[in-house]
Chains A and B, each alone.
Chain A
């Protein structure tokens, strides 16, 4: 499967600031996604990062709060803007690949642990 890296791996930010998270894949992928995992919770999809067009956001997530860039097929960024303590979460990018049975399978990056003080 593709090798996915994220930067930073963790950060502590003050409220009102923004954090930009980078996701780099070692091969070209069509589908990239951003998820959030709040403390003690499961994963929730934030948006689909579309190459060459605006991201597609899920209900409850908006572009002003979570702007996303996807300049090419190997890279994406997620910015979490105007931070509040409620934004403290792990943010993960994922990519979709074709598995051995020709099914589409999704793999996750190592995540970025954000703490907002």
Chain B
């Protein structure tokens, strides 16, 4: 089993739709959680850090469920510009401080 697993996707949604991605992690020692956005042929860009049970930034809401070991990303009122690959990542902490483990990514396409 992979340490970090994401919804396989791809997700194809119309503009204005709400879409949610899930990401599960197997290492209960994971301390920090992140969502990155990666555009084609570009580097990943940090979208959100997931603090405590979750946080919100405009149209984006991230939630963390430590008991079930998953994080989610909700995008409301989707825009064409939201089309990208969304990567979740976990950091184990301790001696693995700073070392991120990434999921395989979920492709989102928002169409007119």
CB neighbours (8 Å) of B8 from chain A are none
Among the 9-residue stretches B11-19, B62-70, B96-104, the one with 4 or more Cβ atoms under 8 Å from chain A is: B96-104
Partner of B46, one of A44, A45, A107: A107
A106 near B98 (CB under 8 angstroms)? yes
Q: A42-B105, A103-B32, A103-B49 are in contact. Are A33 and B43 (CB under 8 A)?
A: no
Look across to chain A and name the residue whose beta carbon is closest to the beta carbon of B2. A42
B contact set with A: CB distance below 8 Å: 32, 34, 41-46, 49, 51, 87, 91, 97-105
Interface membership of A92, Cβ < 8 A: yes
A42 near B102 (CB under 8 angstroms)? yes
CB neighbours (8 Å) of A33 from chain B are 98-100
Q: How far is the CB of A46 from chain B (nearest CB, A)?
A: 11
